[in-house]
Chain A
Amino acid sequence: MRTPPDHRLNLRTILVLALLAGVLTIWQHSARASRQPSLPERMVIAVGRPLQGLFTVMQAWPRNLVTGLTQGSRLVRENEALRRKCEEAQAKITELNQCYLDLRAMVKSLGLTLEQKPEAVAARVIGLDTGASHCRATIAVERPGTVSEGDVVRQAAGLVGQVLKVQGRTAEVLLLIDPDAAVAGLDLRGRDQGIVYPQPALALPASRLKMEKIKPVAAFPDLRPGDVIVTSGLDQVYPMGIPIGKIEAVHKSPGSAESVTAIIRPFVDFFRLEYVWVLKKP
């Protein structure tokens, strides 16, 4: 006959576990002073991150299967069309490369230098941790050492955030909707500048951003719904010209015409991130 589960509290065991928890906490705090995870955390990360990657890949299988089964013929046609476009694009690239070489030769003969575009690395998003107090993503790159702290993360649509920590092939990204995130923004139409923060909302994590502390070009800020906001580069963290979002609404303070807040709908859907670009710091 087997014994029933013991639901009584053994204080000695609990005390040992509490002590262990205390040691692990202190270990983490002391390791964080040198901006590194503690040894137990590193062990968990070493096993957990590949698992995250595996789960992310596995999630795509059913979707790919369903898409293949239901839209196979359409995808074949689309593939053909894309292949043709790809060949046309390749031809244009060859042409542009020739132009670039000519331009470079011309610049060299004039004694000038060309501005280098930052190098970009593709990364897969393998984890998303969003809550009321933090919004972070975990990304994985092909090779270790290709991403470093402070690198800018973006999608074709717009700015995603900044690399906070790197651990081998994976990195933690501070998303633009994190309460700690901020970016210097620029209104493309009116050229007014300001700081873009996440917009706290009841349904956190934030799905909107807000632009405040506006520095207007004219006497008063001229922000209008529909205006596109891009990074201004003034924060020296994000390079200028990366799209952030579109103004959805403008709130003016009744007391002061200078006090304006723009609510921005970001171009990036932060909850459906799959692939991103990591721009290396220049």
Chain B
Amino acid sequence: MIWYYLGEIVLALLLAAGQVAWAPAGRWEGLAPDLVLVLVVLVGLFRGPEEAAWTGLAGALCIGALTSFPLGGLFVAYMGVGLAAGMLGQQIFSDRLPLLMITVFFAVWLARLIGLVFVPVPQFGGWLVTTLIVALYSALAALPLGWLARLVQPRTGPALTPTPGSSMLGRRS
């Protein structure tokens, strides 16, 4: 189990570094997708709230350290989103990629709203626009990442009994 958690830290660090070093040509109005948040949502949907909260903690630490951002708000935002996604995992058909994209879209809004409580922004209009762009871009980025997660999940996860209530795996089998 310890390797699983260490693996999540490594993954969070890789995605955080990739997010911060996102190619200038691939930025949308200078903004990059929130890859770490996509990872947190994916872990929440596919693995459960505890793992997602752990990933949120690791991801927030990585992003905070690489961007010198205050950690408190990041922890609350990422772990909160992870918990919410983890609890949603039972309720929605999270293996459907369009639904995953919608979940990520709203997760970005939720995380940014929580962040707004901790770090006020100079202009609310600007915050709205940037959040919309990051949410859309992250939702797009969730498509390949979600597809990869679906490929990897049966090998790493404890998953996969076809129970009628379980989110993604029940219907696949």
A20 touches B127 (CB 8 A): no
A126 within 8 A of B: yes
A20 touches B57 (CB 8 A): yes
B20 touches A127 (CB 8 A): yes
- Given A13-B50, A128-B30, does the pair A52, B163 have CB atoms closer than 8 Å? no
Could you say which residues of chain B place their CB within 8 Å of the CB of A172? 68
Of the candidates B16, B30, B167, the one having the most CB atoms from chain A within 10 angstroms of its own CB is B30
A220 within 8 A of B: no
Chain A nearest CB from B138 CB (Å) reads 13
Binds B, one of A2-10, A108-116, A143-151, A237-245: A2-10
Q: Which B105-161 residues sit within 8 Å CB-CB of chain A?
A: 119-123, 125-131, 157-161
Q: How many residues of B contact A (CB 8 A)?
A: 65
- Given A44-B13, A51-B14, A205-B130, does the pair A133, B46 have CB atoms closer than 8 Å? no
Closest Cβ neighbor of B161 among chain A residues:
A4
Could you say which residues of chain B place their CB within 8 Å of the CB of A210? none
A133 touches B119 (CB 8 A): yes
B6 within 8 A of A: no
A132 to B133, CA, bound (A): 12
A51 to B62, CA, bound (A): 12
B30 touches A17 (CB 8 A): no
A81 within 8 A of B: no
A42 to B62, CA, bound (A): 10
Chain B nearest CB from A112 CB (Å) reads 44
A179 touches B122 (CB 8 A): yes
- Given A5-B47, A21-B57, A203-B29, does the pair A133, B121 have CB atoms closer than 8 Å? yes
A53 to B71, CA, bound (A): 23
A49 to B21, CA, bound (A): 9
A128 touches B89 (CB 8 A): no
A204 within 8 A of B: yes
Could you say which residues of chain B place their CB within 8 Å of the CB of A100? none
Q: Which B48-90 residues sit within 8 Å CB-CB of chain A?
A: 48-50, 53-54, 57, 60-62, 64-72, 75-76, 79, 83, 86-87, 89-90
A2 touches B160 (CB 8 A): yes
A40 to B17, CA, bound (A): 16
A7 to B43, CA, bound (A): 11
A1 touches B161 (CB 8 A): yes
Closest Cβ neighbor of A201 among chain B residues:
B126
1/0 per residue, CB under 8 A from A, across B31-50: the answer is: 11000000000000011111
A270 touches B89 (CB 8 A): no
Could you say which residues of chain B place their CB within 8 Å of the CB of A56? 21
A235 within 8 A of B: no
Could you say which residues of chain A place their CB within 8 Å of the CB of B49? 7-9, 14
Interface residues in chain A, defined as those with a beta carbon under 8 Å from any beta carbon in chain B: 1-10, 13-14, 17-18, 20-21, 24-25, 28, 37, 40-42, 44-45, 47-49, 51-53, 55-56, 59, 63, 126-134, 136, 138, 164-165, 172, 179, 200-205, 207, 270-274
Can you list 21 contacts pairing A with B, beta carbon distance less than 8 Å? Answer: A3-B158, A4-B159, A7-B89, A21-B71, A40-B61, A44-B66, A45-B66, A48-B65, A52-B21, A56-B21, A59-B23, A128-B24, A132-B127, A136-B68, A165-B68, A172-B68, A179-B122, A202-B126, A204-B123, A204-B130, A272-B24
- Knowing that A21-B72, A44-B66, A172-B68 touch, tell me 8 more A-B residue pairs with CB under 8 angstroms: A4-B160, A5-B166, A14-B83, A21-B57, A40-B61, A51-B14, A132-B131, A134-B69
